[in-house]
Amino acid sequence: MTEKAILYDSTSCIACRGCQVACKQWNDNPLDKEENWGDCPQTADISASTWLKIMLNEAKSYGDDTFLFTRRACMHCTDAACIKVCPTGALSRHELGFVTYDKDICSGCGYCMEFCPFGVPQSTRNTLTGAAKMDKCTLCTTPGADRMSENYEPACVKTCPTDALVFGDRDDLVILGNQKVSELKDEGYNNASLYGENELGGLHVLYVLEDSPDRYGLPLTPEFPAMADVWQDIIQPVGLAAGGLLLAGLGLNYIIASRAKAAREKAAKKEV
């Protein structure tokens, strides 16, 4: 199937946060406690019940004091470390390329939270019992709230009044995004770039940025953590193989030793 994606144009975003509201409403997520800092009452970051948040980064950009808006939510990486480390297979790849999950079989281990290069997966964790379930943006593929199977746009895209969010075939959006970047460069924004085209095998959320990604709080070169491979490619199969070989070996030992013992007893009897 053709891979889909969201294109977020930071230069068109007015930080109205309509997408945040639409996301919460569609996914039936409760409000988090807000803290009033300055003139922007906001939660500090995404959380288990806030899957999408528009970040307001105060920065000096091209000589002006300004806000650089960015969209913080799951990036839906092609090389997704979270899928790689999930021990129960709760996290998986959707046929449209997104990273989706089955909350029922999430064991709450939190490996995805530790291995995600963007720090996206969140959970409510009971410190005493350890009971936890991970939550994050599913790009509207959550069973029961699946807009994709109905051919609807994601809730955030649907509500965006300035078309800063566009949904479509990923290949088309890469072309559109690069067009916007070259227009920005023509206007003198020399640091403009399309973030997500090649990062981590290609993200399924693409960013048109007028300044360097780190000004937006995005990692310049997000990396697939080396240790993520260790878990599923080494630890899990080695553990299973060791367990299996061991049980087979002990069974074999039992058969051989039983025979040896019987033979010795027979020989001892003869001597008597």
Task: Enumerate binding residues for another protein (CB under 8 A).
Answer: 87-90, 104-111, 113-115, 119, 125, 127-133, 225, 227, 230-231, 235-236, 238-240, 242-243, 246-247, 250, 253-254, 256-258, 260-261, 264
Question: Cβ 37 to another protein, closest distance in Å?
Answer: 21
Structure tokens given for 74: 């799951």
CA nearest 5: which of 173, 119, 143, 126? 173
Question: Cβ 11 to another protein, closest distance in Å?
Answer: 31
Cβ proximity to another protein, 14 vs 234, nearer residue: 234
Question: Cβ 189 to another protein, closest distance in Å?
Answer: 33
Question: Cβ 261 to another protein, closest distance in Å?
Answer: 5
Cβ proximity to another protein, 18 vs 87, nearer residue: 87
Question: Cβ 102 to another protein, closest distance in Å?
Answer: 9
Cβ proximity to another protein, 110 vs 168, nearer residue: 110
Cβ proximity to another protein, 79 vs 172, nearer residue: 79
CA nearest 53: which of 77, 23, 12, 13? 23
Distance, in Å, from the CA atom of 61 to the CA atom of 80, rounded to the nearest integer, reads: 31
Question: Cβ 89 to another protein, closest distance in Å?
Answer: 5
Q: Which string of DSSP letters, residue by residue, matches 223-242? A: ---HHHHIIIIIIHHHHHHH
Cβ proximity to another protein, 88 vs 190, nearer residue: 88
CA nearest 52: which of 68, 71, 38, 35? 71
Distances (CA, A) of 76 to 132, 141, 260: 22, 12, 60
Residues 51/187, Cβ–Cβ less than 8 Å: no
Distance, in Å, from the CA atom of 138 to the CA atom of 115, rounded to the nearest integer, reads: 18
Cβ proximity to another protein, 136 vs 170, nearer residue: 136
Distance, in Å, from the CA atom of 206 to the CA atom of 177, rounded to the nearest integer, reads: 8
Structure tokens given for 119: 């720090």
